[in-house]
Amino acid sequence: MKTSDFNYYLPEELIAQKPLVDRTSSRLLVLDKNTGKRLHKHFSDLPEFLKSGDVLVINNTRVIPARLLGVRSDTLSPVELLLLKRIDENHWETLARPGKKVREGRKFTFIPGKLEAECEKVLDNGNRIIRFDFEGIWEEVLDEAGIMPLPPYIHEKLEDKERYQTVYSKDPGSAAAPTAGLHFTKELLSSLRASGIEIAEVTLHVGLGTFRPVKVEDVLDHEMHSEWYEFNEEASAIINKARAEGRRIISVGTTSTRVLETVATNDPEMKPCSGYTNIFIYPGYEFKCVNSLITNFHLPESTLIMLVSALSTKEIVLDTYKEAVEQKYRFFSFGDAMFITTL
């Protein structure tokens, strides 16, 4: 299986640069994963395709302002750090730019007297282990110093940083949003609950590995990035009961899918757990929990389009993407959505 098998043509003007004013006004392409039948709707029409007893699984992670702009403490030359993974109270694994300035032992200033840092180690993959020294509460200091890290294909400034958060985000730790959830409003979620739809929350802190291209030609040679997840007791109870009763498990986003399939792979009983997952889902994978998927349109040759193709087929998904381009759907993080299910 080749990475190039998952390529498709996308005009640059279809890459959404801004979120829509109304989250639910995004378009929704409903796809039958088995037959390829397609319906063109809007996200506000989603309730038409759900029924009482369905379980929606959402990722409640919250994006942190993970981009830090500062200076070398000695030369005052500019540096940029991107927080990837928290190791302990003071240490983070980060990306650094320019890398040649962020060497072991060098110190940096972000807010004088309030947020300082030192590079303690350069990892084999080029990432840095940084020790931060700060005054006050870390989350408040980071909120003051940090910038929201938008994906590299978004070039316009985000006026309201909450628009890169889901309305149900609450557990800080992501470097990127679980973007399928951006289409939901609190009102839509309340309406779904009232109609008998159950909602289960999981957590997966999205890393920047989600944007990294697959650089190998053979898909099987790709080394999948690792992300921290939590599957709590409440989610376990809801999902196991639904599975036992044969009800649909509808994952909101590829991140929720990664949690559910990781847990189901490690433990068919899906008991509460947490840890790191590097699960790689591509065609040929047999899903153990997820029946249906709400997701955005993903980058060509990405691990995300491979995951979507695994739930249906590569041929159906690429044909659907071709039609989405022809119909001028909006792509990627602030773009439109798909609901992949059985009609």
Taking CA atoms, 333 is separated from 94, 190, 262, 278, in Å, by 22, 24, 24, 22
The set of residues, in sequence order, having a beta carbon less than 8 Å from that of 75 and lying 6+ positions away, is none
Question: Is the Cα dihedral 4, 179, 246, 341 positive or negative?
Answer: negative
Per-residue pLDDT of the chain (343 residues; tens, 9 = 90+): 999 999 999 999 999 999 999 999 999 999 999 999 999 999 999 999 999 999 999 999 999 999 999 999 999 999 999 998 889 999 999 999 998 889 999 999 999 999 999 999 999 888 999 999 999 999 999 999 999 888 889 988 888 989 999 999 999 999 899 999 999 999 999 999 999 999 999 999 998 777 777 889 999 999 898 899 999 999 999 999 999 999 999 999 999 999 999 999 999 999 999 999 999 999 999 999 999 999 999 999 999 999 999 999 999 999 999 999 999 999 999 999 999 999 9
**pTM greater than 0.95:** no
63 in Cβ contact with 169 (< 8 Å): yes
Give the side-chain half-sphere CA count within 13 A for 10: 21
Nearest to 132 by CA among 113, 118, 151: 118
Strand order across the beta sheet in which 27-32 lies: 38-42, 27-32, 337-341, 292-296, 249-252, 55-59, 198-204, 227-231, 273-277
Strand partners, 199: 56
